[in-house]
Structures are given as C-alpha cells and as structure tokens.
Structure 1
C-alpha cells in the first residue's frame, strides 16, 4: 500500500512524499487552520467526533471505538489522549 501512497503523493503539489486518503475520491481543498479560540477548537473537535455518526457507523460519537469522543464524555478510549 505504501507504493500507492507514494504514487499519489508525487502527483500532488500539496505533498512532499506520501498522500493518504479515505474513500474513492481525493479531496485537495483542505487548508490547515490554527485553533485560535476555544469555540473554533470545539467546533472542529465536534465535527471530527460526529463523522462516524454522519457516516451511519454509530448512533453516538462515543460509541465509535477509534474516536476520542469517549474520553471527552468521561470514559476511557483505546489511545491515551491529551485533552485540548
């Protein structure tokens, strides 16, 4: 799979070496944003936590086992996290 990521990375000026993507389309409209305020940070964190719900994988964000949403709801997830 590494050769796929390397091949895709070489075709994209936004990458130096590798590109990883999910699904069948490659989106290149992502731009890094600084988390300048707590409100903006919370919006982005909620967006990330709600992705599995929107995809229909789970009914609640904290039910997705690979998400930090469980940590933010008082539980303990699979990976040690640093709270934002």
Structure 2
C-alpha cells in the first residue's frame, strides 16, 4: 500500500485528493455522494475538521482541510473508514 504524502504539521492547511479504489465511478449516484457529504458534516461538527473547500468528482474528491485539534491524520482515517463501510453496506443492500 503506498504511503503517499505524510502530514507533518497536523494543524496546517492541506490540499488532499481521495480516490476510489480502481477509480470506480461511485459518486455519480446521489445516494453515495450524500453519504460522503454527511461524513464531512459529522467530522466538521464533532471531530474538529475544518473543511475550507471541496470538489466531488465521479471517482475522487479534492479537499482543502485543516483542524484546530492537531489530529488531522486520525480524523481522515476515521472519516474514510466510515464512508467506505457505509457506501459498501448501501451497495450490498
């Protein structure tokens, strides 16, 4: 698994790109985009994520984010895990 860029200043402002595995066009359906957007909202309200801007494409997302709590890697990990699990559960059901 590639490590990519490391967040060395957890309270800094970061431009991130999150992609779907194999570039599958998941976000073309509103139901899956809504799951992603509700994850953003939850993390902003409850985990201290500051979402400055975002663009949802069909198979990836661009974000400009920061946090006041200094735990950006932890917030992103939890958000990605919850979002992926929720989307997979929705697809299977």
Q: TM-score, normalised by structure 1?
A: 0.33
Q: Which has the higher strand share?
A: 2
Bigger RCO of structures 1 and 2 (CA < 8 A, at least 6 apart): 2
Q: Which has the higher helix share?
A: 2
**Which has the greater radius of gyration?**
1
